[in-house]
């Protein structure tokens, strides 16, 4: 059924369809009984799916990755699609338009997407206003970043502001220093600036009555040596875990033609082509650290089998995004059913 829906959705530009989907889901949720019917179709309730990771109790281990609900407009409705948690953002202190359009492209031959959105969002105040109106009990992660105009020397100020403003309204934080679409952002993944940033956030965290988990979202383009640094940084800063991985700038092995790729230009690649590298990194981090911290596995999950691979590699939780777009909301239930059969 979803393949027919997807055929018509894919006739239109990706960003246009993204906005239309939000309108349709939001409008549908108003209809009496509609959210109940979504839960009936897509939500799998089974106590064996429950997980406790970094002190948070999840109904199931499958979440929606950041980037879909950037401005926290749809998290209550998305709870009805069977997710165990939803990560909102990336959120920045000030509103920003992001990069010029077009900036979102489907690579249908590869079951992939290239985006160079550039942290487009309505800013931290608008996001907080929506989170205050939360109705469901869905676990919320807050993915935080810096504004494009903020120089890296002052980046910590942006992360601090987002942390403080979001703190009462999210269950955990994801520190995004790995998007390839904000100039210079990935420089913050280097050992010294990253350690400094995470230590500062942990200082703020320790001042709260009850601290909240802080996770680091990393790029799939890191070398094994850089992953060794990540393991040391996690240990040194005592953060709660890692999200592996963000999108990649690598274009090797794609079926999409070189001409098409050149016409698209820069951006982060997500979907099936990221699957193997993401799983490799999860396995490497898990084994090299001796499972010292939890990992949320994300990247190229388009089937239940893909999800199980991530779990067997060492992931404690999972996130989907591109797979959700290509395979539809039933993917979440299929993954959870496969987990029960393990």
SS3 of the chain: the string is CHHHHHHHHCCCCHHHHHHHHHHHHHHHHHCCCHHHHHHHHHCCCCHHHCEEECCEEECCCEEECCCCCCCCCCHHHHHHHCCCEEEEEEECCCCECCCCCCCEEEEHHHCEEEECCCCCECCHHHHHHHHCCCCCCCEEEEEECCCCCCCHHHHHHHHHHHHHHHCCCCCEEEEECCCCCCCCHHHHHCHHHHHHHHHHHHHHHHCCCCCCCEEEEECCCCCHHHHHHHHHHHHHHCCCEEEECCCECCCCCCCCCHHHHHHHCCCEEEEHHHHHHHHHHHHHHHHHCCCCCCEEEECCCCCHHHHHHHHHHCCCEEEECHHHHHHCCHHHHHHHHHHHHC
d(CA 331, CA 60): 13
Residue 277 is predicted with a pLDDT of 98
CATH number assigned to the domain comprising residue 77 = 3.20.20.70
Q: Which structural domain range is residue 208 located in?
A: 2-341
Catalytic residue among 179, 270, 278, 289: 179
Cβ neighbours around 328 below 10 Å, total: 18
Judge whether 270 counts as a catalytic residue: no
pLDDT above 90 as % of the chain: 100
Edge-first strand order for the sheet with 268-271 is 104-107, 112-115, 268-271
Residue 1 is predicted with a pLDDT of 85
Residue 243 is predicted with a pLDDT of 98
**Whole-number mean pLDDT of the chain?**
97
Per-residue model confidence as pLDDT tens for the chain (342 residues):
899 999 999 999 999 999 999 999 999 999 999 999 999 999 999 999 999 999 999 999 999 999 999 999 999 999 999 999 999 999 999 999 999 999 999 999 999 999 999 999 999 999 999 999 999 999 999 999 999 999 999 999 999 999 999 999 999 999 999 999 999 999 999 999 999 999 999 999 999 999 999 999 999 999 999 999 999 999 999 999 999 999 999 999 999 999 999 999 999 999 999 999 999 999 999 999 999 999 999 999 999 999 999 999 999 999 999 999 999 999 999 999 999 999
**Tokens 């105040």 — which residue?**
125
Write phi, then psi, for 141 (nearest 5 degrees): -100, 140
The total number of structural domains in the chain stands at 1
Residue 283 is predicted with a pLDDT of 98
- Of 321, 284, 342, the closest CA to residue 143 belongs to 321
Write phi, then psi, for 114 (nearest 5 degrees): -110, 130
Say what the pTM is.
Answer: 0.97
Give the chain's end-to-end CA distance (angstroms, integer).
Answer: 27
């Amino acid at each position: 059924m979803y393949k027919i829906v997807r055929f018509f959705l894919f006739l239109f530009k990706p960003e246009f369809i993204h906005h239309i989907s939000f309108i349709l889901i939001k409008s549908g949720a108003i209809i009496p009984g509609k959210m109940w019917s979504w839960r009936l179709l897509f939500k799998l309730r089974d106590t064996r799916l429950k997980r406790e990771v970094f002190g948070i109790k999840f109904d199931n281990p499958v979440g929606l990755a950041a980037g879909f609900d950037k401005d926290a407009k749809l998290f209550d409705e998305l709870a009805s699609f069977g997710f165990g948690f939803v990560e909102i953002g990336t959120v920045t202190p000030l509103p920003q338009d992001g990069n010029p359009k077009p900036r979102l492209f489907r690579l249908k031959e590869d079951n992939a997407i290239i985006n160079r959105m550039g942290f487009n969002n309505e800013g931290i105040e608008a996001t907080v206003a929506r989170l205050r109106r939360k109705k469901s009990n869905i676990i919320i992660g807050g993915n935080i970043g810096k504004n494009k105009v903020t120089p890296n020397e002052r980046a910590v100020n942006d992360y601090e502001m987002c942390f403080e403003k979001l703190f009462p309204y999210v269950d955990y934080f994801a520190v995004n220093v790995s998007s390839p679409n904000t100039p210079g952002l990935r420089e913050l993944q280097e050992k010294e600036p990253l350690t400094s940033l995470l230590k500062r956030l942990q200082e703020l965290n320790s001042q709260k009555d009850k601290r909240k988990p802080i996770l680091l979202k990393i790029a799939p383009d890191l070398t094994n040596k850089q992953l060794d640094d990540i393991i040391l940084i996690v240990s040194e800063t005592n953060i709660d875990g890692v999200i592996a991985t963000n999108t990649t700038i690598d274009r090797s092995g794609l079926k999409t033609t070189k001409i098409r790729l050149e016409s698209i230009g820069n951006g982060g690649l997500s979907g099936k082509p990221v699957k193997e590298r993401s799983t490799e990194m999860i396995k490497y981090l898990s084994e090299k650290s001796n499972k010292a911290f939890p990992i949320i596995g994300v990247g190229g999950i388009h089937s239940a089998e893909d999800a199980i691979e991530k779990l067997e590699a060492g992931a404690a939780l999972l996130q989907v995004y591109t797979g959700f777009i290509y395979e539809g909301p039933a993917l979440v239930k299929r993954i959870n059913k496969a987990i029960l059969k393990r």
